[in-house]
Amino acid sequence: SNYSLVGPAIGSGAYGSVYKGINKTTGDTVALKRTKIENFTDGIPSTTLREISILSELSHPNIVSLKDVITTDTHIWFVQEYCNMDLSKLL
């Protein structure tokens, strides 16, 4: 992969975990969202395909951009713009 993890998970939710990462070619900091595929023989879940489709079409200053999608035998990784802020403090 063109990306490497930097430290432990920085967040987690119902569908996976998010890690801080580095693009090894450019040196850019990225967010790497790992989504587990429970039964890969059935293909990529429709909810995940929908998320990829929507994020790839969006371009807005208030929405993190999707830079890449990487699939392995057990996970799908969303490579996204890294935002260095704690969103819970905005609530």
pLDDT digits (tens, 9 = 90+) for 74-87: 889 999 999 887 76
DSSP-based three-state secondary structure for 4: strand
Identity of residue 75: H
CB 35 within 8 A of CB 84: no
Cβ neighbors of 31 (< 8 A, separation 6 or more) are: 10, 18, 19, 20, 21, 64, 78, 79, 80, 81, 82, 83
Which pTM was predicted?
A: 0.84
CA distance 24 to 44: 27
pLDDT digits (tens, 9 = 90+) for 8-43: 999 888 778 999 999 999 999 999 999 877 665 677
